[in-house]
Amino acid sequence: MPAPTKIYFSQVASAEWKDWVQVVNVDNDAASIMAIARNEKGETVWSGERWLRPFQAWSIPIDPVSVKQELSLTVSSNR
């Protein structure tokens, strides 16, 4: 069975709980990573994309948009 390419965090809140998300590319090839944060209405409030080299990490910067609201976060990869 292939490894999943998408992960969903149903509740992320950096202000009170100090949540953070770090993604690591564990593949031997570069990977395109897309992160989308949505508010409780399902509206996109932040998105970002980054190419990661093998075993490179990305700490997704959710702090600016999650200070005043709880968000859901979807992270997907092409690998």
Residues in CB range of 9: below 8 A, 6 or more apart = 21, 72, 73, 74, 75
Domain 6-77: top CATH class: mainly beta
pLDDT at residue 34, as a whole number: 97
Q: What is the pLDDT of residues 40-72, one digit of tens each?
A: 999 999 999 999 999 999 998 887 777 778 889
For the entire predicted model, the pTM comes to: 0.85
Q: What is the pLDDT of residues 9-38, one digit of tens each?
A: 998 876 665 677 899 999 999 999 999 999
What is the residue extent of each domain of the chain? 6-77
At 58, list the tokens: 């990305």
- DSSP bridge partners of 50: 33
